[in-house]
Structure 1
Amino acid sequence: VGPKGGRREKHPRRRIVDAIFYVVWTGCAWRQLPKDFPPWPTVYWYFTWWHDDGTVERVHDTLRGRVREADGRAAEPSAGLIDSQSVRTADTVPAGTRGFDAGKKVKG
């Protein structure tokens, strides 16, 4: 909520958030938002504004903490996982620059 004064918002913030969730959930393009949501440029503008000013990250971190606490765990995770993909290298790649994925037994 901004400072007092100015004109009234044309689209309720809840509808903006619902439209952002719709795009994330369905994977559709911004331009493909159904007409019952606010216009896509408006929704996209709010999304980029909230992303750039850190609002999206703060909401994510807060919700993650609440879900973890409701599950009886610490609010902050103690470990993380990184997944990667092994790509086979050509025999022409020098041995000193290529690795080996022991799990898949693949040069890469």
Structure 2
Amino acid sequence: MQVVQRRDGGFRSTWAKAGTPHPAVPLFTVVPRRWVVERTFAWLGRCRRLSKDYEYLHVCSENAIYLTMAMLLVRRLARSPR
């Protein structure tokens, strides 16, 4: 598990009067919608070619990711009722 620091420093949507100190930032906060990224990586991990780093060039790996996501999209569109 990796703990990441929020970009806003924990002060998003926080209002304070001028001259008052900022509220304390918690050490750990859940990053919203991070599960979407983790789910996408899980989908990519199912692809045999992307399960390990077989490619020599980064461009080939990127193209393999595009191809895999296109295949997932086509499968999902073919499965959905009209």
Q: Normalised by the size of structure 2, how large is the TM-score?
A: 0.29
Q: Which has the higher contact order (CA 8 A, sep 6+)?
A: 2
